[in-house]
Amino acid sequence: MRPFFWIIDEEWSDYAIEEESLKGMYPDCVIKVSNYDIQADLEEFGSMVDVILCQIYAHLPEKSISRLTRCKGIAVYGGGYDRIDIVAARKMGISVTNVSDYCKEDLADYVMASIYHFNKQILGMHQAKARGRWGAQAVRTPLRRMKGSTLLVIGLGRIGKVVAQKGKALGMVVKAFDPYVDETAMAAIGVEKVAWEEGLGQADFISVNAILNNETHGLIRYDAFTKMKRTAYLVNTARGKIIVEKDLVRAMREELIAGAALDVIESEPPTMDESIFKCSNVIVTPHISYISEESYAELKRRTIENALGMLVGRKPADLVN
């Protein structure tokens, strides 16, 4: 029987890499592509699918998974798999994989770019020039030098460690909050372990790099903003639901912090009418911090490897259930 691969995606325009790899291994395989509205296709051929390759936005609840009677695996293009019922999948004997750290350099670069944006305020200085200000009169408040400023990393996993390394390279004082990494391990890479309120109160810049789970859902709420410096900036490249968005909006209106850069928000894709889009000094980018030629290549390669491994019953290294 010919292997049947189902790609669920609305992000990419072509699947040349997938076709080359999958057909290179199984020349007669079937490859079908659907958008996120999968119901009609699920009814038409869901029972024939051997492996799914899907974006993180693909919604596969228990009701849909129960129709995948021949499926052996679901390979997610990315780190997030919260829209897939992994428990229901395991009950059906379906393995689920993700690709967790393929873009750690890119995410860390985004964090550093955001920090530089806020620190140097280049766009603001350009606008000051347009208003006729030149020289020191264009700078209303002197900016702190990057070297010696404090960076708090929330979540010192594989991505958080790269953020910390880049911060150290800039001469920043790097501290981290992560209950699952001990003080000795942090000290080994030149990072100081801090308690929650202590870290929030000391940070000039805060980078959110934690995974989203029951412990981190809504971790950063209004009370956390009251502990931060009014001059602090927040950067989130992890998951939008780690921050209570309405509380961030309130904090910005009350000027509890100076600004934020978000590449993720609570509800994605957005309606484009979210309150966070209307907040002054909050930059929201469309979940693109992971993108580079190198990250795309690794993401596709590892997702395809996971898919092919699950097809033949191999336990993949990226298994999440």
Cis status, amide bond into 286, omega within 30 of 0: no
d(CA 169, CA 288): 24
d(CA 87, CA 260): 35
d(CA 165, CA 205): 15
Q: Where are the domains of the chain?
A: 4-102+293-311, 104-284
Q: What string of pLDDT tens digits covers the 321 residues of the chain? A: 899 999 999 999 899 999 999 999 999 999 999 999 999 999 999 999 999 999 999 999 999 999 999 999 999 999 889 899 999 999 999 999 999 889 999 999 999 999 999 999 888 888 888 888 898 888 887 788 999 999 999 999 999 999 999 999 999 999 999 999 999 999 999 999 999 999 999 999 999 999 999 999 999 999 999 999 999 999 999 999 999 999 999 999 999 999 999 999 999 989 999 999 999 899 999 999 999 999 999 999 999 999 999 999 999 989 999
pLDDT value of residue 140: 80
Q: Which CATH superfamily is domain 4-102+293-311 in?
A: NAD(P)-binding Rossmann-like Domain (3.40.50.720)
- Of the candidates 18, 245, 266, 287, the residue annotated as catalytic is 287
- Of the candidates 18, 239, 245, 302, the residue annotated as catalytic is 239
Predicted structure pTM score: 0.87
- Of the candidates 19, 105, 197, 268, the residue annotated as catalytic is 268
Sign, CA dihedral 146-234-232-228, equals: negative
Tell me, yes or no, if 268 is annotated catalytic. yes
* CATH code given to domain 104-284: 3.40.50.720
